[in-house]
Structure 1
């Protein structure tokens, strides 16, 4: 059994596990040749290698984002299964301990502490923007790599990664994301809005970090390329009616309006918009391009569109096959990045020759950046490393070429409401999105 799900207060019993928590005192790969880079010292020979290596997954099993978690859980489990089928990192069995945070910062702090101190995980595979941002200093002190498929926040644009110096963890900021940030997919969305001739927009958004970040990224790209925001209204989440907010918003003249709210609040707001007959086309934030939104709002949503992270990784087909074999959870934009997060972590362990947090941190950049043999799976990477080659993992969601700040670039998909469902209608290529992002600022 390679997956353990534990409650926030429980401790998963992992007999025979070696996870090495944040205070692990094993060799971190920093001394001379013992970094696994020559392919010889992979930690898998002899009797001293771990039987099991454990990763921790703080998860949104409950709360306002729980409808997205099944796809992330299934992707994680599919990746772990394929990695173990290939012999596992350091010939050990990879396990995941999954604990619910309900996407609450204080609960996330408690859960992450338990994962590191009690479960002795080698790395964290998870955490949302609304958890990472307020816990930033805590995560830095924890000194355990966080490789996450979730956060879009612009807060992370220049925070995180190894700063391009993998051998020196002194300047590292320990957070890496395998999903494109808001700066990327909101830039793609803004580019598409401008291309569609939408010269003036209204904006309605929630008052939490994720919603503000999405809007900030969109507006920066949109206004920077000739668009105008006529009016912006910020609202409380969980209100029973948003009619007054729409009354204020629609006092202004604009071509379309951008909405960034969690799903439950958005459904309430969009029904108020529909009932009020306000008209004008909605542009939806990424999480709102779901079947549930169309089912609850109805035909008035026809023609509304939203941008989501693309499925532009060179090896998406490999992921898609493994995902389908694992179960029938609904696929979402954060599912492929979850696969990539597990793959790069396992490859970093293999290259390092050990499963300590610092060793993983030193090797995440080297197994993903240009210059090595391109590999599409852990199995290919394990073989290449054994042959003494450097590797460059090519992912499912993106090519996963981590920037110095631990970010990735990828394409952006435009999903449009048509005949009762969201349909992919356009794609903004990664190279076009890059034109909206200043060099070194992501």
Structure 2
């Protein structure tokens, strides 16, 4: 009897010991990474995935967010809305993620946001479509944009066209939310200055040739063609333009006018093309901290601005979990992300620094590596832009454009 009693008491003691904080299993916070490992976004997807890993490792090395370890489950969006939806459903229903980060293209974000809204889960993305700003798509304000809107891209295109001295621009747009948003943003800004767009063409995806659409634009004799395009279609259009022998210039978004375009077409065809892309927050301590870690991880720091955006998404999510707790609802987390991503608090540049300030009861404002963030009422940001020009097969940065 005494032996049985001793055994029971020992078992109770062991159970109590195992339940103590020192031996309790650490809480977790599930994060979904939905990045474009394949498809049009593939030049950026691997870097985005690595940047998320870097950020999560930093958060966990600092003791986690409010005691919770961040755990990442990943899916390839394939830069395609249908694949993104399938990946998001798996992350939401199987991995039970409380936030979805790393989404790249507008088509993906527009397809996925209804799912995250229904699940009351945050969606952090790098998409430009204007529809992602407010109702009805982002009526719950669970979506956060870390890239410039297509409208802001269009304004940057207009500033660059003006600076370069062009007077007769035309536009060519891929028929989706992003492509149309870019060229419509340009046209709006250009016409607001009392100027004319001489031709505008919208073309369909997955065509073997765009010769007829191109000829329609060239008949207007533009001195520059502004595109809302992706790499595959841009490659075809530029090849057919070069074969036509017509002399005109091009302003193309950076995700289409990149090193892969030069590789596909060669220096002669791409000479003089202006590539426009947002630039990271290069003067900020957060960028310097990120760039060092990203460089060691093999990320093309200057050539992949989206990786810095993905890094910021994970860091500010960690800070929001630290502030609201790992069991907070999506709505509660969204309020903290917005608060931490706007001015008014003590400026912080790393998760560890922000965690320390939050534990001391201070309000913090995270200054990102990709931009200063400073979310507006739609949870959008306004980063700076840069104009690169392709010269002798190399992308050469020429100047910064601030809106």
Q: TM-score surpassing 0.5?
A: yes
Alignment partner, residue 274 of structure 2: 305
1:422 paired to 2:390? no
Q: Contact between 1:285 and 1:306, CA under 8 Å: does it hold in 2?
A: yes
Q: Contact between 2:32 and 2:99, CA under 8 Å: does it hold in 1?
A: yes
Q: Give the secondary structure class of the aligned counterpart of 2:340.
A: coil
Alpha-carbon distance, 1:407 to partner: 0.6
Match of 1:327 among 281, 291, 298: 298
Q: Measure the CA separation in 2 of the matches of 1:178 and 1:121.
A: 20
Alpha-carbon distance, 1:135 to partner: 4.5
Alignment partner, residue 378 of structure 1: 351
Alpha-carbon distance, 1:367 to partner: 1.3
Alpha-carbon distance, 1:50 to partner: 4.6
Alignment partner, residue 144 of structure 1: 121
TM-score when scaled to structure 1? 0.80
Match of 1:387 among 353, 360, 365: 360
Alpha-carbon distance, 1:186 to partner: 2.4
Query: CA RMSD of the aligned region, Å?
Result: 2.2
Cα distance change on mapping 1:400 and 1:192 into 2, 3 Å: same
Alignment partner, residue 158 of structure 2: 190
Alignment partner, residue 108 of structure 2: 131
1:342 paired to 2:314? yes
Q: Which moved more, 1:339-348 or 1:216-225?
A: 216-225
Larger % of helix: which? Answer: 2
1:145-178 per-residue CA deviation (whole Å, 9 max, x = no partner) reads: 1112x2011212335999xxxxxxxx63311112
1:47-86 per-residue CA deviation (whole Å, 9 max, x = no partner) reads: 8885322200112122232222112112111111222222
Q: Contact between 2:181 and 2:228, CA under 8 Å: does it hold in 1?
A: no
Alignment partner, residue 131 of structure 2: 155
Cα distance change on mapping 1:240 and 1:358 into 2, 3 Å: same
**Larger RCO: Structure 1 or Structure 2 (Cα < 8 Å, ≥ 6 residues apart)?**
1
Q: Give the secondary structure class of the aligned counterpart of 2:169.
A: strand
Q: Measure the CA separation in 1 of the matches of 2:394 and 2:30.
A: 39
Alignment partner, residue 57 of structure 1: 33
1:412 paired to 2:390? no
Q: Measure the CA separation in 1 of the matches of 2:127 and 2:322.
A: 26
Alpha-carbon distance, 1:259 to partner: 2.2
1:235 paired to 2:207? no
Alpha-carbon distance, 1:252 to partner: 0.5
> What does 1:27-426 align with in structure 2 at a 5 Å threshold?
50-127=26-103, 128-148=105-125, 150-159=126-135, 172-298=140-266, 299-312=268-281, 314=284, 315-328=286-299, 331-356=303-328, 357-426=330-399
TM-score when scaled to structure 2? 0.88
Q: Contact between 1:368 and 1:394, CA under 8 Å: does it hold in 2?
A: yes
Q: Contact between 1:289 and 1:422, CA under 8 Å: does it hold in 2?
A: no
Alpha-carbon distance, 1:258 to partner: 1.1
- Between the two proteins, the alignment pairs up a number of residues equal to 377
Alpha-carbon distance, 1:139 to partner: 3.4
Q: Measure the CA separation in 1 of the matches of 2:331 and 2:94.
A: 18
Alignment partner, residue 19 of structure 1: none
Q: Measure the CA separation in 2 of the matches of 1:328 and 1:141.
A: 34
Q: Contact between 2:114 and 2:137, CA under 8 Å: does it hold in 1?
A: no
Q: Contact between 1:311 and 1:398, CA under 8 Å: does it hold in 2?
A: yes
1:190-226 per-residue CA deviation (whole Å, 9 max, x = no partner) reads: 1121122212211122112221122112221222223
Q: Measure the CA separation in 2 of the matches of 1:378 and 1:109.
A: 30
Q: Measure the CA separation in 2 of the matches of 1:154 and 1:49.
A: 43
Cα distance change on mapping 1:242 and 1:54 into 2, 3 Å: same
Q: Give the secondary structure class of the aligned counterpart of 1:126.
A: strand
Q: Measure the CA separation in 1 of the matches of 2:269 and 2:114.
A: 45
Q: Measure the CA separation in 2 of the matches of 1:90 and 1:274.
A: 57
Q: Give the secondary structure class of the aligned counterpart of 1:146.
A: strand
Q: Measure the CA separation in 1 of the matches of 2:299 and 2:345.
A: 35
Alpha-carbon distance, 1:144 to partner: 0.5
